[in-house]
A and B are shown apart, each in its own frame.
Chain A
Amino acid sequence: MIKTGNMKRYLMWFANENIEFRFPEIQSILSLLNIEMKFIQKPDVTEPYWIVQFNSEEDVQQVANRSVSLKLCLELWADSVTIEDLHSQLKQYPKQFYERYFSPDETFKIELETFCRHLTQEEKVRKIEEFHYLPVQGSVKLKDPHVCLQYIEYYGTDPNKPPLHPYCVFFGRWVSNGLRQLIRTFSLKSRKFIGNTSMDPQLALLMANQAKIAKGDIILDPFVGSGSLLVAAAQFGGYVLGTDIDYLMLHAKTRPSRKKQKVREKDESIKANMQQYKLSARYIDVLVNDFSISFWRENLKLDAIITDPPYGIREATERVGTEKKDFTVSEMHLMTHIPSKIAYGISSIYKDLLVFSSKHLKLGGRLVCWFPIFREDYREEGLPSHPCLKLIANSEQILSKLTSRRMLTFEKMEEPPENQQEIKFNGILDFREKYFEAREETRSEKRTREAKLRNQNKIEYLKRK
């Protein structure tokens, strides 16, 4: 429970995207850092802010220093649905709470932030001047003042038709920003080596938070591709490993993923990305390896596994194998032989991934992975599951009208039996059958529609003749 000592309220303001990922992210961070937070107002999922309590301001700062969904955090002094009421609340705000920030040697500034409505500079100045009654004694400093006071006007989340008056207004002392700037730092646009399925940096960072990665952890991505998840894992202090079946991918010899780029640069690699971001100290290795054939030592324990397995849409889902009987590669061809591959179905991939994770995660360690969904078919029982892994979070990212993917977070609760053959698995939804069916349908629909149109044109043409 929150100690009664710190009665201060904090306003946490979130970016208005990936809304479903917000709550699980903060929960993971709280659990990782062992910090308590209490809601004062039950959060409304449609609103981008929470009003909460913490044991100390340091706790607030620590959480903000890890959160990607959080924009900023204020020590909340007043909040209301009308501007007049906000001012009257502020005028009554107990002196002992703000006094020390208003002393003569504290420089300060007041900032106005509006959400979903643009104000002119004049309007802003006028609104800020209304706070003239605050008994501040320090001098104004616009750049890096000691104290930054923030006034927020919230006009909802639809920028197209903001109301005339704000829905709510807030006033408080700025405490910390979240990690939104990292999204820019890790932008795929400026990253040295990317692939066709490189993960959006924001989602990669969210995954690393779900995985509760701490300094000195060992992290594996078994379907590593261009390593975008490893970047996020290393940023939070993880030492990273990856494997991928695609030799050309790991050696950056595939066709370039950027439209403008004709050939890949010579020195593109996952390692080069780590160097670009000054994270190379935490890069261990990547290996060319088929996930269905493990080369890891039996007793290897990992702190977390984060991965985006192949869905078979933009990349193949394959493993090494052959359907031919008694196939052998002759001695002569052995050196240059590229093994043939067979289909690796979604349910086998996820079953292997859960079995592997239950074996190689430390107790309490987490697996964070994406799972593709044909939306119409979705039911929780169709998600991959394992008796030793508990599903902690499940957030949907919608990809199209028909499809989405879900970021699943599992935590290892107990050691699995020696022989996992005995574990019974439920049926895992395979979205591909439906996905391709639906696509086929639209394709044939398109053909019919085009044929019809041609026909009509022909008739009209004949009529005109």
Chain B
Amino acid sequence: MKLLTHNMLTSKCLKGVSVGYPLGINATEVTTSVVDFDPEFISRLIPKLEWHALKQASDIIGEKGYLPEALIADYENNEEFLKKVHHALLEIEVVSGNLVCPETGRSFPINNGIPNMLLNEDEV
């Protein structure tokens, strides 16, 4: 699971959960790989991201402080910054671990890089 995906997921569908965002991450195996960099794609993506969630996830899974607290101004023209965001979003991958609902603590296992978001029949 990439951090881009993590940025888009919530556990709001669980009973009694009001926000469910961002999901916590417990990682037992993380890999990084090289993915072709497309600055246009990243610039287009940035306004759609929840920055604080990405920053938090990157601090936990990647290197602490790798991304700044707040989104910088004029990021479209800052290639170095775009590359960092690219790395955080697409190159770091949680291979195994858990995603955790911040309100109920319900955890969702990740294995082989694939999160399992199936609920049990008593949860739906």
Let me know if B5 and A301 touch, CB within 8 A.
no
Q: Mark A265-294, 1 if CB is under 8 A from B, else 0.
A: 000010100000000110011111110011
Interface check B74, CB cutoff 8 A? no
Q: What's the minimum C-beta distance from B29 to chain A, rounded to whole angstroms?
A: 16
Q: Answer yes or no: A328 CB below 8 A from chain B CBs.
A: yes
CB distance from A280 to the nearest CB of B (A): 7
When the two chains form their complex, are residues A284 and B4 in contact, meaning their CB atoms are under 8 A apart? yes
User: Chain B contacts of A296 at CB under 8 A?
Assistant: 8-10
In the complex the two chains form, is B116's CB within 8 Å of A288's CB?
yes
With contacts A295-B13, A320-B120, A322-B122 taken as known, whether A288 is within 8 angstroms of B115 at the C-beta atoms is: yes
In the complex, number of A-B residue pairs with CB atoms less than 8 Å apart: 99
Chain A residues, CB < 8 A from B8: 296-297, 300
| Contact A339 B118, CB 8 Å, known A239-B41, A251-B112, A285-B2 | yes
**Does A288 contact B118, Cβ atoms closer than 8 Å?**
yes
Stretch from B32-40, B59-67, B77-85 contacting the other chain = B32-40
Residue A298 interfacial (CB < 8 Å): yes
Does residue A149 face the partner (Cβ distance < 8 Å to B)?
no
* Bound-complex Cα distance A339 to B123 (A): 10
Which one of B7, B35, B41 lies within 8 Å of A280 (CB-CB)?
A: B35
A133 at the interface (CB under 8 A from B): no
B15 vs chain A, min Cβ distance (A): 11
Chain B residues with CB under 8 A of A327: 121-122
B16 CB to closest chain A CB (Å) equals 15
- A301 and B2 form a contact (CB under 8 A): no
Determine if A245 is an interface residue (Cβ-Cβ < 8 Å): yes
**Distance from B42 Cβ to chain A, minimum over Cβ atoms (Å):** 9
Enumerate chain B residues within 8 angstroms of A290, measured Cβ to Cβ: 117-119
Does A462 lie at the interface of the complex (its beta carbon under 8 Å from any beta carbon of B)? no
Are B116 and A334 interface neighbours, CB within 8 A? no
A241 at the interface (CB under 8 A from B): yes
How many whole Å from B73's CB to the nearest CB in chain A?
22
Whether B25 sits at the interface, judged by CB under 8 Å, is no
The docked-state distance in angstroms from the alpha carbon of A284 to that of B120 is: 26
Distance in angstroms between the alpha carbons of A313 and B63 in the assembled complex: 48
Q: From known contacts A280-B35, A284-B2, infer whether A289 and B117 are also in contact, taking CB-CB under 8 Å.
A: yes
Which residues of A318-334 are within 8 A (CB) of B?
Answer: 320-322, 324, 327-329, 334
B113 close to A271 (CB less than 8 A): yes
Which B74-124 residues sit within 8 Å CB-CB of chain A? 90, 111-122, 124
Cβ contact within 8 Å between A320 and B118: yes
Task: Tell me the A200-239 residues at the B interface (CB within 8 Å).
Answer: 215-216, 218, 239
Evaluate contact between A286 and B41: CB separation under 8 angstroms.
Answer: no
CA distance A405 to B45 in the complex (A): 35
Q: Is the CB of A288 within 8 A of B40?
A: no
A223 → chain B, closest Cβ, in Å?
15
CA distance A215 to B44 in the complex (A): 11
**Interface check B57, CB cutoff 8 A:** no
- Residue with the highest number of chain A CB atoms closer than 10 Å, among B8, B9, B44, B115: B8
With A and B bound together, what is the CA distance between A245 and B116 in angstroms? 9
The answer to whether B118 touches A250 (Cβ under 8 A) is no
Q: Which residue of A lies closest to B115 (CB)?
A: A287
- A321 and B117 form a contact (CB under 8 A): no
Residue in chain B with minimal CB distance to A239: B41
Whether A320 touches B119, Cβ cut-off 8 Å, given contacts A216-B38, A241-B5, A280-B35, is: yes
